[in-house]
Amino acid sequence: MYNFEAVDAEGNTIGLQLDYDDDENSTVTLLDTYRSLTVAQDIPLKQISYVRNFGNTNWQSLYVPFEIPVTAALLEDFEFAYINGAKQYDDDDDGTPDRMTIESFKVKSGTLRANHPYLIRAKVKGEKTITVNEATLYATTENSVDCSTTSRLFTFQSSYSLLNYEDMVDCFLLGGGTWNLTASGNTMKPMRFYLKVTSRGNSQVIASAPTIRLQVDGEMTGIKASPISSPEGKDIILDLQGRRVEHPENGIYIINGKKTIVR
């Protein structure tokens, strides 16, 4: 017999006793509306489902306590990615980074690990369910992973509890394809993660960081064409880092808001 506890949206505690040998009590459904989730020990189950409402088709953070096999059927509805590293750019060559990028790569096969941060994107918005059969609900641990440049440390911190702004001051939340500095009133639901940027060496939090964009398989997300048009009526051309380009060479560019290959 195993124990499972969650707090629902109304603040009520949900306590379940799960038994793998009991066909009627060997499944669990994790809801995106939880305020918190606690699993004290690993629980083998016949089925685990995770229900999440996707209000958009942008990349979002994902952190769940069970493994997810990346199958062809699952990829019909979702895309997944893992965080690979961080980059900094000094566009004006003044010695201070002007832009930061989180580099990620899509996961197209294999299995997503439990209690590990990933990115997820629903191809169509709305309520979606991920179901895994013959799975283990692992004990909930709020792990973090990090990557760094020579001057800054990027820490991706997970949570199984609803977090308020006070819990994430001077940190970044993923939204619209960009890591955005938290503001008063921001919250983060459980089974997600946020980003904290600190200075390497003295652990000083860098809250005045420039825009931190998300790059997936080499393509910058969240790029929109500039609303300012040139008086000559020329196309607005951006590279995949969002910088204006006057004379594009062979490669991939964002031209008037649309990704285009220039040959």
Distance of alpha carbon 141 from alpha carbon 77, whole angstroms: 27
- Residue 70 CA to residue 130 CA, distance in Å, equals 11
Look at residue 226 in the predicted model and tell me its pLDDT.
38
Looking at the fold, whether 43 and 119 belong to one and the same domain comes out as: yes
Number of domains composing the chain: 2
Co-location of 119 and 235 in the same domain = no
Which residues have a Cβ under 8 Å from the Cβ of 231 and sit 6 or more positions away? none
**Closest by CA position to 56, among listed 120, 125, 121, 129:** 125
Domain extent at residue 58: 2-216
Judgement on whether residues 173 and 258 belong to the same structural domain of the protein: no
Query: Do both 168 and 230 map to the same domain?
Result: no
Specify whether 158 is located in the same domain as 175: yes
Residues 199 and 229 in one domain: no
15 and 126, same domain (yes or no)? yes
pLDDT the model gives residue 205: 80
pLDDT in tens, the chain (263 residues): 678 899 999 999 998 888 777 776 799 999 999 999 999 999 999 999 999 999 999 999 999 999 999 999 999 999 999 999 998 887 777 777 777 899 999 999 999 999 999 999 999 999 999 999 999 999 999 999 999 988 889 999 999 999 999 999 989 999 988 899 898 999 999 999 999 999 887 777 876 655 689 999 988 887 553 333 344 445 667 776 666 777 888 887 777 656 677 87
Whether 36 and 165 share a structural domain = yes
Shared domain for 230 and 180, answered yes or no, is: no
In this structure, the answer to whether residues 158 and 173 fall within a common structural domain is: yes
User: Do 154 and 232 share a domain, yes or no?
Assistant: no
Bridge partners, residue 101, by sequence: 87, 213
Q: b vs e for 155-168, b when ≥16 Cβ sit within 10 Å of the residue's Cβ?
A: bbbbbbbbbeeebb
Q: Which of 216, 237, 254 is the last residue of a domain?
A: 216
Last residue in a domain, options 200, 216, 232: 216
In terms of domains, do 181 and 98 share one?
A: yes
